[in-house]
Amino acid sequence: MNLFDDDDYMVSTPKDNFFSIIKSANQNIVEMEVTKIFERLAVAEKLLEDNGLDKKYEQMVNTFAISDPQEYDERLNSLFIETVGNIVTQCE
């Protein structure tokens, strides 16, 4: 199963690829991977709260894309790529 359109893959963004793939991939696998993302977020938020960093986290969420857009984009793209890789490898 070819999940990538060969022409589109090289010109699209990791975010575009993610949303394209989740539409055509096995929905049980997509649901499982998205659940894993939320589980990690829940644990990260709990760690931040336990360490009194929840207010700083909220402030950074609101300013990170503006204060360091290159690192923000790289981290976001990395998450999209990692998730797509997890989905694709399980759909083969």
Question: Over its length of 92 residues, how does the chain's per-residue pLDDT go in tens digits?
Answer: 455 555 555 679 999 999 999 999 999 999 999 999 999 999 999 999 999 998 998 999 899 999 999 999 999 999 999 999 999 999 87
Specify the pLDDT at position 24.
93
pTM, two decimal places: 0.79
Rounded-to-integer distance, Cα 66 and Cα 60, Å: 10
Specify the pLDDT at position 1.
47
Q: In this structure, which amino acid lies at residue 87?
A: I
Rounded-to-integer distance, Cα 68 and Cα 17, Å: 24
Work out the burial of residue 18: count CB atoms within 10 Å of its CB; fewer than 13 is exposed, 13-18 middle, 19 or more buried: buried
